[in-house]
Amino acid sequence: MNATDTPTVPADVPEVAAAYPAAWNTTAPLEKLPLDSNFAWLLCALLAATAWVIYITYYNARVLGFLLTKVLNRFVGKAYLKIGSVSLSVLSGKLMFRDVAYVTPDYTVRAQDGWLIFRWWIPYVKKEFPRTCADAEARVFVLLNGLEMHIYNRSQLYSHLEQLFGLEPSVLPNGPDQPMPEEPPPSNAAEDHPWRDLVPVLKVEVSTGRLVFGNRLLPTTISIRFEEAHATYKTRAAASRLDLFQHTLDCRLDSFKVMLAPSPKYIGVPDEPPRFMGEGFVVLQSNRVHLFYYQDEAGLVPAEQEVVQLANGDLVERRSAPTWGLDAKCGRGTSFSYGPWADRQRDKLMQFFFPQDYQPLKPTPQPQVGERRRAQSFDLRLSTTADATLDLLFSKEKETNAVHMTVKQGSYLELTLPWQVTDEGYTTRVTGQLFHLEASTSLPFRNLLESEILGFDVQGKYPLIWNGHQDWQCSLAGCRSSLTLLHTHKGFFQALIEDWASKARPDLLRFVPYTWHLNLVLTEFELITLANEYNWVDCAHQENARVAFCGEVFDLSFDLPFVDFLPPQLSLKFWIQAESVSMLASLPEGDPHRELLLLLDRSALVTDRMGAPRTQPPPDKKWHFVAQPSKGWVEVVSVPIVALSLQYTYHPVPPLDFAHPLDFDVTTPEKEELLLSPIRPPKKRAVLVAPDDFDPGSMTPDVLSLELEIGPSVLSLDGVVLHLLMQLKENYLGAWQDYVDMEADAPPPEKAPEGDFDPRCFRPLDVRATLIMHDMQGHLMKGCSDREPPCPSLYLERLQLEICKSHRESQLQLLLSPLVAVCPGDRPGHLALSSFQVRAQALFSGAERPLCSETLEYAWLVELQAGDITGRLTLPQLYDLVVGAELFVQQAQHSSGALVPPQGRIHCQHDLPQTECSHAESSSPCPVPDDLKYRMTRFMLDYVDICLEEANSAIAFEVGPLKLTQCNLHSEQTSSGLSLQLRAVNVVQFLSCPDGPWLQTGKLEFGPLVMDNWTHGLPQNSQEGFLRTHDKATHRLWFLWGDSRAGGRCGCLGGCFFFGSEDAPDGSPA
């Protein structure tokens, strides 16, 4: 033993152990460490521990994921499963994973990362049946980040269709490997469901999720996105005691968005959406959406049906089915966008994922006793818990148009999808209500509709045969609705319908007959129309002359029977009825007649139908939103009931050019040309030109027949009302249908029509209208003081107006029953007209007019026939009649409030702006048709017997037959003239005697009287040339052509064709 060696000290001696440290607890320099086996084992242990820690930390989860991927892919068949990494913590019951993907030929599910927590420490408690798990503690919790599910095919369905159609299998060459699912065998209601006790509640949280439908074969892909989702699954008691329980899934989605985005790598013909919003067309977006999914676990059909007792004691069987549905509630920031383009994309997606098999449907067999019950329908309910917006977008000539709507909270939509087929087919139903709806358009004049409640109910009945007749019913019900209409809205919504119409070529093999039954019922409504002269419209300040039609009930019903494939003509019938209708008028504040209209409404004293003065107007119980009397609206007409029957027979115009840009059957060169057209310079299209021998009048016309019947009515005979009605006629049915904004710049020049000529687009329209009014009472408005008698009243039992318009002429006939005017007073006076008839005829021509222009009216012929006028009046009563009539005429002329025609809107006889017409002379512009048109008026009066009576004297006027004719081409030397023929005139004066009889004190008698008057107007050669040009084809103005039937007379004396003339050259009816 060396001196330097450490002595061996027994370690079990306490004193020695305290004096010498342990050998393993000593330190020494690295150079002095012994390189023996212990040191080697130490290094290996350290390296192994480091490698194990690194492996466990960074590679263990990935290796396990790789191994798990290899193992699971042996059991997933044609699918592919990838797990990037996975780790498991038994103590916390936590399974974590990353980069998980499950890919099949039909869909793909991906998740960036997530975890699953199974709380194994919660005790398992088995509950007795029936049980509810609504308040149980969640045992399983799942969190997913970046969840995405992409559905792009339905291979099994496509393979089934191949087998059904006898095609070679191409989708699945080996045939479908998944048999059709069979219904599980029935079991008892008390069957064990241990998973309900083990996992009573399941909570799932998703951060950034997306659900996608589509592939590169479709032009668009629908994408459903959300930022966060919190879902809770649990079970509760079923709606029916016959079922076991009900599955429920309560989910909250934040930043929810449904979008139609362009499909990547799509090589078809593009269809541009009306508006891009970010990455695509957003159909629905909301800050928060709450989803509640529920489905009953069906039980068994009992041997005896459930019986319930009604309140009256009757016993009835209670028939119920398992409930199944989804409730969606949209919160703040909700907006919907839809339109024709979005509907076309929806249709393409439906045809791709749910293709039709063209096989007859088989009725679903009803479950028998002991079999499992079946759900009859799937119910989807979409509602709003805050204000929402709805945009209806469409395109017209590559310009986006929109109908913008806002609705209040509580608005909802319910969709019922049938899940069983009956012997008659199945029925799909969509119902809903929109609360406090406000709708506007993208036109400069934005007002359209405001309604407190607008409900809708749409039902579609599908038969068992796929191409059998389908029956659709659509019912709309509105409450307190205010609608503002312009004639421009007709073209606006017509463009919407044309954009929404099918762009596919008509195909008999795909034709499905169907009929739409539409019904619109409005309760407490008002219709606002604009009646500014020349259709000027103040879009900014709403200072317009307006006419409102208000009522209690409005009912519109009509059918659209599309039951034949490409029918030569189609007939539509409409029925409209309104109750408790009134017409109100309002003038803008700048109109000089506004104060007079309001003054007459306040100060005029009128009588009721019994002749008693009405001290105060009856209370107006009608609902008004815009047309409020406190805002300057005056009621001028009141009618208890109005009925309109309308029949429209038209010839459909199916497209001739089937190579539509959206048609997938176009050839490859045409498709290439369509794809490259946006980057090529624009080509000038050919101007629409008709053949020289084209005559629209040779085609069978479309026919519009309407009958309007108005019940007992009360009218305020105010000249302003007549003026407004005439402006309504021009703005909605006449020459000023396109409105002009008062603050807009000059309208752009009209473009010449372009494209290929299609004669079917120029088919004429024949109109046959009948108007009947019953029991009319009119008040001739005038100012009345407290001591003056009420306004004169007019009574008419029946008024009938008939109009017949064709391509070459228009005929009008007005018939009145005896008309009586009553002047109230101490001794009421009266004035009666036994009969009155008006016949008028307008002659039309399209010579020297552009192809798309309307026919020109070159002659207006009127004949008035009055019967006997009898009456007895006092001078004050006569004064009241004269003052009322003078005031009526003054307001009807409306000269002090006349507006200037818009610049460039006055068209000449060639339907061109006067400043642009090449036919105009240098000294004066080309004249308008109204200056050159031939006018003829005939007036005939049978007899007049009027007595003006005072206290002690009276004057009687007797006038024999009177004939008055006037025209503006009276002879070859003059332009206009008037002819008067009067047989006899008698004027007799009477004085009363104290004892009673009247004595004749004077008499004036003369007649017959004949008078002719001529005046000069426009140069006769210009008017005669105009008339010859347009009357050349028909020769209805006989005096122009030296016809023997004229006899050298002008038109007012019988020298032209008029109504019942014989030998009409165009075969016009007598």
Residue 351 predicted with pLDDT over 70: yes
What pLDDT, on a 0 to 100 scale, did the predictor assign at position 518?
96
What pLDDT, on a 0 to 100 scale, did the predictor assign at position 680?
58
Nearest to 843 by CA among 855, 827, 831: 855
pLDDT class for 77, splitting at 50, 70, 90?
Answer: confident
Do the domain assignments include residue 1007?
Answer: yes
CA atoms within 13 A on the CB side of 1051: 28
The DSSP code for 826 is S
pLDDT tens per residue across span 674-687: 556 555 555 555 55
Residue 833 predicted with pLDDT over 50: yes
- Lowest-confidence pick of 438-452, 918-932, 1024-1038: 918-932
Question: In 170-323, at which residue ranges do the beta strands (DSSP E only) sit?
Answer: 201-213, 220-236, 245-262, 281-297, 307-309, 315-317
Residue percentage of the chain with pLDDT more than 70? 87
* Residue 945: both structure tokens together: 């017997």
What pairs with residue 87 in β-bridges?
A: 96
* Residue 714: both structure tokens together: 């009360």
Distant-in-sequence, close-in-space partners of 469: CB < 8 Å, separation ≥ 6: 463, 513, 514, 515, 563
Do the domain assignments include residue 1069?
Answer: yes
What pairs with residue 714 in β-bridges?
A: 638, 777
Distant-in-sequence, close-in-space partners of 122: CB < 8 Å, separation ≥ 6: 137, 139
pLDDT average, residue stretch 154-160: 91
Residue 1046 predicted with pLDDT over 90: no
Q: What is the pTM of this model?
A: 0.86
Residue 396 predicted with pLDDT over 90: no
pLDDT class for 734, splitting at 50, 70, 90?
Answer: confident
What pLDDT, on a 0 to 100 scale, did the predictor assign at position 542?
82
What pLDDT, on a 0 to 100 scale, did the predictor assign at position 214?
94
pLDDT average, residue stretch 995-1019: 80
pLDDT class for 968, splitting at 50, 70, 90?
Answer: confident
Average pLDDT, the chain: 85
Question: In 386-469, at which residue ranges do the beta strands (DSSP E only) sit?
Answer: 388-396, 399-407, 412-418, 426-441, 447-462
Structurally, how many domains does the chain consist of? 1
- Lowest-confidence pick of 231-235, 314-318, 827-831, 935-939: 314-318
Beta-carbon count within 10 A of 807 CB: 19
Which residue's entry shows tokens 């004939």?
A: 963
pLDDT class for 2, splitting at 50, 70, 90?
Answer: very low
pLDDT class for 375, splitting at 50, 70, 90?
Answer: very high
Do the domain assignments include residue 780?
Answer: no
pLDDT class for 310, splitting at 50, 70, 90?
Answer: confident
pLDDT tens per residue across span 179-203: 555 555 555 544 556 677 788 889 9
Please indicate whether residue 590 or residue 619 has the higher confidence score (pLDDT): 590
pLDDT class for 304, splitting at 50, 70, 90?
Answer: confident
pLDDT average, residue stretch 550-572: 94
What pLDDT, on a 0 to 100 scale, did the predictor assign at position 1064?
44
Do the domain assignments include residue 904?
Answer: no
Do the domain assignments include residue 1057?
Answer: yes
What pLDDT, on a 0 to 100 scale, did the predictor assign at position 24?
55
Do the domain assignments include residue 47?
Answer: no
Beta-carbon count within 10 A of 35 CB: 7
Q: Counting Cβ atoms within 10 Å, is residue 438 exposed (0-12), middle (13-18) or buried (19+)?
A: middle
What pLDDT, on a 0 to 100 scale, did the predictor assign at position 1063?
43
pLDDT tens per residue across span 479-530: 999 999 999 999 999 999 988 887 777 888 889 999 999 999 999 999 999 9
Do the domain assignments include residue 970?
Answer: yes
The dihedral formed by the CA atoms of 970, 976, 980 and 981, expressed in degrees to the nearest 10? 0
- Lowest-confidence pick of 25-34, 281-290, 588-597, 863-872: 25-34
CA atoms within 13 A on the CB side of 590: 9
| CA dist., res. 57 & res. 788, Å (int) | 108
The top-scoring range by mean pLDDT among 944-958, 989-1003, 1047-1061 is 944-958
Residue 243 predicted with pLDDT over 90: no
Q: Are the CB atoms for 189 and 300 separated by under 8 Å? A: yes
- Lowest-confidence pick of 127-141, 403-417, 451-465, 732-746: 127-141
- Lowest-confidence pick of 1-10, 384-393, 432-441, 699-708: 1-10
| The length of the chain, given as a count of residues | 1070
Do the domain assignments include residue 959?
Answer: yes
Q: Are the CB atoms for 651 and 703 separated by under 8 Å? A: no
Vertex 917 angle, CA 911 and 919, to 5°: 105
Domain that includes residue 973, residue range: 927-1070
